[in-house]
Amino acid sequence: MNTTRCLVTVMMVCLAASFKILAGPVSLTRYALVVGSNTGDAERRELKYAVSDAESFARVLMELGGVRQDRCMVMKNPDKRGFLRGLGRLKTAIHNEKALQGRKEVVIYYSGHADERGILLGREGFAYKEIRDTLHQMGVDVRIAVLDACASGSFTREKGGTHRPPFLYDMSTVTEGYAFLTSSSADEVSQESDAIRSSFFTHYLVSGMRGPADANRDGKVTLNEAYEFAYDETLQRTEKTSAGPQHASYDIRLKGSGDLVLTDLRTSSAVLRLMPALTGRIFVHDAQGHLLVELSKSPGKKLEIGLEPGEFEVLVHSSDGVSAGNILLKEGGVTEVTGSELHKVKQVAHRLRGAETMVDDSYARIPFNMSFLPQLSISGRYNKTKVYASLSLLAGMTEWLHGAELSSGISVVTETMTGVQVASIATLGGEVTGLQLSGVANLVKGSVKGLQIASVVNTSTSGLTGLQLSGAVNFSGKDVAGGQVASAANHLQGNLSGVQLSGGYNFSGGAIRGIQIASACNVANESSTGIQITGCTNIAPAGFAGCGIAGGVNVTGCMTGLQIAGGINVTGDFIGIQIAPVNISRKMTGLQLGVFNICDTVDGVPLAVFSYVRSNPPRYRVYLDEAGFVTAGVRSGGEYFYSLLSLGTTTVSLTGYQWYFGAGFGARLPVKKGYFAVESMANQVHVRNVWDLSPVFHVRNSVIYAYTFTPGFSLWVGPSLNIGIAWREGKMRNSYREVTYERHLQHWHAYWPGITGGIEL
Report residue 216: phi and psi, to 5°.
-95, 5
Confidence bin at 27 (pLDDT 50/70/90): confident
Percent of the chain with pLDDT over 70: 79
Place 258 in a pLDDT band, splitting at 50, 70 and 90.
low
Better pLDDT: 404 or 177: 404
Per-residue pLDDT, 727: 65
Share of the chain above pLDDT 90, in %: 29
pLDDT of residue 344: 80
User: Hey, what amino acid is at 448?
Assistant: V
Tens of pLDDT, residues 235-244: 887 776 666 6
Contact by Cβ (8 Å): 177, 89: no
Q: 567: pLDDT confidence band, cut at 50, 70 and 90?
A: very high
Which phi and psi (to 5°) does residue 231 adopt? -60, -50
pLDDT for the residue 423 = 92
CB of 538 within 8 A of CB of 530? Answer: no
What does the pLDDT read at residue 556? 92
Predicted confidence (pLDDT) per residue in 349-367, tens digit: 433 323 333 334 456 678 8
User: Which candidate, 337, 259, 260, places its Cα nearest to that of 293?
Assistant: 337
Q: Is the pLDDT of residue 413 over 60?
A: yes
**595 close to 581: Cβ distance less than 8 angstroms:** yes
Side-chain-side CA neighbours of residue 469 (13 Å): 10
Kind of pairing between the strands at 174-182 and 249-256? antiparallel
Radius of gyration of the chain (CA): 34
pLDDT confidence of 18, banded at 50, 70, 90?
Answer: very low
Taking only the tens place, the pLDDT of each residue in 663-713 is 898 998 999 889 999 999 888 777 655 445 456 778 889 999 999 998 889
Q: In this structure, how many other beta carbons lie within 10 angstroms of the beta carbon of residue 687?
A: 16
Q: Which of 56, 91, 86, 92 is nearest to 73 (CA)?
A: 86
Secondary structure letter of residue 206 according to DSSP: H
DSSP string, 134-202: HHHTS--SEEEEEEEETTTHHHHHHTT-B--------SS-EEEEEEEEESS-TTS--EEETTTTEEHHH
pTM: 0.55
In the predicted model, what is the mean pLDDT of residues 228-253?
Answer: 73
Cβ 532 vs Cβ 548: under 8 Å: yes
Q: pLDDT tens-digit profile of 487-509?
A: 999 999 888 999 999 999 999 98
The Cα–Cα gap between 411 and 417 comes to 11
**Tens digit of each residue's pLDDT (9 = 90 or more) over 594-632:** 899 988 888 888 888 888 888 888 999 998 887 667 888
- Beta strands in 519-595, from DSSP E residues, in sequence order: 521-524, 528-534, 537-540, 544-550, 553-556, 559-565, 568-570, 573-579, 582-593
